[in-house]
Amino acid sequence: MPNAALVVQADDTELQSDIVAELVKQMRALDTYDTQKDWPDAQVIDPYVLTKERKQAIPIVGDPDEITMARVKAYYNALATLIEKRSGLMAVPVINLTHEGFGRAFIIVGKLIVADKTLRDVHRFGFASLAKLNEEAGKVLEKAQGLIGQFPEVANA
């Protein structure tokens, strides 16, 4: 993707958040051919930002490609990693997606489900801005921490 088409700029302060840093790590881990090796973090995270224009360019009905499905998995892996870092307990993402882009994503700590999201239209997965990504991830992380604190015996099981 040429830099002219990027929505996320290298000087964006949202790039400094924990979720974005972890998401960049996850995306780089998926890059087995090192095509993103020399890319700045802004370019790696850019596909997660779906502006109105980008969203309009994607058909309303469609099947997600492997790259989009990998992005969804990387997002939930990043959330699970942050939950694990904050709680000290192993967090496991479980994602069930059909080829049509419908399914569910869970993050499980012990026997406790700390995050549960119904996924629809995964071929259009993304956030309006990097700030929105940080906001949504923050809500998930906060809720997960609250559940772990409320049910420690289940989380430790």
Is 15 a domain residue?
no
Length of the chain counted residue by residue: 157
Is 35 a domain residue?
yes
Is 59 a domain residue?
yes
Give me the CATH number covering residue 60: 1.10.3100.20
Is 4 a domain residue?
no
Please give the pLDDT value at position 5. Answer: 82
Q: For residue 67, give Cα distances in angstroms to 48, 73, 86, 108, 123.
A: 11, 10, 29, 24, 10
Number of domains in the chain: 1
Residue span of the structural domain in which 123 resides: 23-155
Is 84 a domain residue?
yes
Please give the pLDDT value at position 4. Answer: 52
Is 7 a domain residue?
no
Please give the pLDDT value at position 2. Answer: 46
Low-confidence ranges of the chain (pLDDT < 70): 1-4
Please give the pLDDT value at position 1. Answer: 44
Is 57 a domain residue?
yes
Is 42 a domain residue?
yes
Give the model confidence (pLDDT) of 18-50 as tens digits. 999 999 999 999 999 999 999 999 999 999 999
Please give the pLDDT value at position 64. Answer: 92
Q: Spell out a b/e string for 88-105, using b for 16 or more CB atoms within 10 Å of the CB, else e.
A: eeebebebebeeebebeb
